[in-house]
A = this chain, B = another copy of it.
Amino acid sequence: MSAQAGGDQSRGVPHVIIVGAGFGGVSAAQALARAPVRVTVMDRSNHHLFQPLLYQVATASLGPADIATPVRQLLGRQRNAIVALVEVTGVDPDRREVSYTSADGRAQTTAYDYLVLATGVEQSYFGHDEYARFAPGLKSLTDATTIRSRGLTALEIAELEPDPSKHRDLLTFVLVGAGPTGCEMAGAIAEALRGPFRAEFRRVDPGSARIILVEGEPRILMSFSESLARRAHDRLTSKGVEIRTGARVEHVDADGVIVAGERISSRHVLWTAGVKPSPAGRWLRAETDHAGRVRVQPDLTVAGRPEVFVVGDTSCLEHDGRPLPGVAQVALQQGRYAGRVIEGRLAGAAAPAPFRYFDKGNMAVIGRGFAILESGRIKLSGLPAWLAWAVIHLAFLPAAGNRFSVFTQWAWSYVTAQQQSRLILERGSPKATEPPDQKR
């Protein structure tokens, strides 16, 4: 066993490797704070990302650091934990080893006694990976700042374009998928473009932008009740968002999309239609569901591998006959559960009670001052739901510094209606829809 990523002083103490420092991984590590183990948390980025507010970075309301917390800040002071900035490349479940590449490019392996895989999901293009270059998803800070730069650059190009007929595709935004992320993005884009910074342009009116939300299902926000989804629909429409439900995107290219047979020219296609799990299932050679998520036992372990837990979006567990949704709360609760099971086993406790998800509810926000919220029998919409949304999101931000900076940024933009992070940091590429590393 290599010592690279394990603790030094505590040989002989069981080694828990946690892969992924999202909601599931961090909560598993924290649940083990007092357990007689040494914990190694591996992630390829140095920060834990508060995904629920990522759309606000993409729309220039918040800066990247507001919603990202160094993993080391969250876990570095936990005496039995070590944080490793490495990219995990595989797992050998028979030899109980994780292989990874460290930030200086060296390939290494480390043995574990317990393994928690919390490796999340990435965007799925349903077999059309070629769409990715034209229609980015919204999963990482880099995705968010790229989307922000492209949108701002398009406005700058339109401002210098004397032919108003050419403004149209520069200012047509197509969002594929009307789940919470798609709806939140659509509302935030509408608000940003129809806000006070219109007065700063001469030739182009950012407020004239078309924002089109496309959804294959018969209505938006399928995870909410129909009445609440209706309210969100009306709110989006009143902000000028065009909603096309029951409409499938048939093609995506550099010039736009084809939706239900109609071509829509657009330089800004954003893909929030689907996700695919991390390669955790392949690493483990474990049973997966149709999407590739690892089927786990009621105690979140993999069949036949009681030392391997899979938590969060990359796992699949049926709960009252339905698979659990891929949301932060599930990952948080599963991570904590896995940590406690490990601690219990080491203490010689009896087999744990199966994991139970406590569903605290579901929220989506449509612009400033409007949200929908569903929790048990409670259904709220409008300002009260938005206030609840704001308080809950502030409370769940992982560090006091994040709460402070998000709160002060929100307060400032509430008063001034200014967006605070309108930066183009990447050099504006000629074709706004192509990633900078692609050749045209």
Contacts and interface: CB of A to CB of B under 8 A. Distances in A.
Interface string A57-101: 000000111101010110011000011111000000000000000
A47 B423 contact: yes
Interface of A: 3-5, 7-8, 45-47, 63-66, 68, 70, 72-73, 76-77, 82-86, 102-105, 141-142, 145, 152-153, 156-157, 159-160, 162, 197, 199-203, 400-401, 404-405, 408-409, 412, 416, 418, 420-425, 428, 430-432
Copies in the complex: 2
A421 B409 CA distance: 15
B142 A76 contact: no
Given A82-B159, A103-B430, 5 more contacts: A5-B160, A72-B197, A73-B418, A84-B156, A405-B412
B45 A424 contact: yes
A164 B401 CA distance: 32
19 contacts: A46-B422, A64-B423, A73-B200, A76-B199, A84-B156, A85-B157, A85-B159, A85-B424, A85-B428, A86-B160, A103-B157, A141-B423, A145-B425, A401-B416, A401-B420, A404-B408, A404-B412, A405-B408, A405-B412
Given A63-B63, A416-B401, A105 B430 contact: yes
A6 to B, nearest CB: 10
A156 B65 contact: no
A82 B202 contact: yes
- Residue from the set A160, A400, A412 with the largest chain B CB neighbour count within 10 Å: A160
A367 B142 CA distance: 31
A63 B162 CA distance: 35
Contacts of A85: 153, 156-157, 159-160, 424, 428
B405 A46 contact: no
